[in-house]
Amino acid sequence: GGGARAGGYERRCPYIVGFYGVFLTPDRTKLCAVLEYCKGGEFFGFATKNRFSEKTARCYFRQLITGVAYMHARGYAHRDLSLENILLDDKETLKICDFGLTVHMTDRKAKLQEEGEHRPGKIRYMPPEIFHMEPYNPFAADLYCCGVILFVMLMATFPYEMPTPDDNRFSHILSGRLRDLLKMWNLDHVVSSEAKDLLSGLLAYEPKRLTLQQVLNHPFVRAGAGEGGGAAAAAPRTAPAAPSSSTAVRGGGVEEAESKQSQQRQQQQRRQQQRKQIVTPGWFLAGPETMRAQVQNVTVTTLRGFVSSKDESVVAALERELVRTYHMTE
């Protein structure tokens, strides 16, 4: 499918995760894909931990847009570009991954219309035309996602929670008032006028959104033509000073809206990220269904405690209990 083929292009594009082949399991019941090992893990934790300097953000954005341009030139639109779907290799070079929603289209100006309630992508990266179930161009949608990713790299926070007029931050950005929003957040001085212009051009409704060629030729992008790949990590990074993603804009100022609903969303996102760090042992996956259900029932409470406390003694106790009760070892 489009995902596998898009991954296979990595041999010619260093910013797309490598695809090396497929094989059937001995019992011929599963098809396994062999992908490049990306030691650095998800870009999400790397990008949201600290606000990048403009030089660092530019370097990573150039890698991202180069990978996107490579896919688009071959008729592939990713449709789920996000910090979570970008990995880092051992040299901290960016790698686009997860092509499960990729589409191949020979007409790059054509539009798609989703059926039912299906919306491709993640809410906080989703272009407004997709969120509102309107016809959309998937190539233009990819560029919007790139704008959200650049925003997070520069600000260490997402521009908004929901792409709807009910979110005042979204209304500011989509009405061309990004600069006003940054002034309210006391962040107008953090990025250059070129960066703000690029963000405004990417985070726009589709008819006004920058094209891929306009992005590649933008002064912000061209300014980094001589900057290397993995060297981006060596550039200075700053502790985040941006407001939390739950900051709401009201009238002429900024109001801290730490509502219970917003806090719950943030806690859920943190739990999801922490769960991804838990590695399931091979023996567990290979065991019978009844055994897996028993182990899950026994350990779920302990695992929840670990996720919230990160207490190593809890993990050690869990390991001892598994060995004692089920006579299992790695």
Is 274 in contact with 290 (CB distance < 8 Å)?
A: no
Question: 36 labelled as ligand-binding?
Answer: no
Q: Which helix (H) or strand (E) holds 173?
A: helix 168-174
Is 168 in contact with 248 (CB distance < 8 Å)?
A: yes
Looking at residue 232, what DSSP letter applies? G
Supply the pLDDT for residue 2. 38
Tens place of pLDDT per residue across the chain (330 aa): 334 444 443 357 899 998 888 888 888 888 888 888 888 888 998 888 888 999 999 999 999 999 999 999 999 999 999 999 999 998 889 999 999 999 999 999 999 988 877 889 898 999 989 988 899 999 999 999 999 999 999 988 898 888 887 888 888 888 878 888 888 888 888 889 999 999 999 999 888 999 999 999 999 999 866 555 444 544 445 544 444 443 333 333 333 333 444 555 666 666 555 544 444 555 555 556 655 566 555 555 555 555 555 566 666 666 666 666 555 544
Residue 259 has phi, psi (to 5 degrees) of -70, 160
Active-site residue 27, yes or no? no
Question: 85 labelled as ligand-binding?
Answer: yes
Report the alpha-carbon distance of residue 94 to residue 82 in Å, rounded. 12
Question: 289 labelled as ligand-binding?
Answer: no
Locate the DSSP E strands across 54-210: 76-77, 86-88, 94-96, 103-104
Catalytic option among 27, 80, 188, 311 = 80
Complete domains list, the chain, with CATH? 41-259 (1.10.510.10), 278-326 (no CATH)
Residue found by looking up tokens 């798609």 in the block: 112
Supply the pLDDT for residue 321. 64
Supply the pLDDT for residue 259. 45
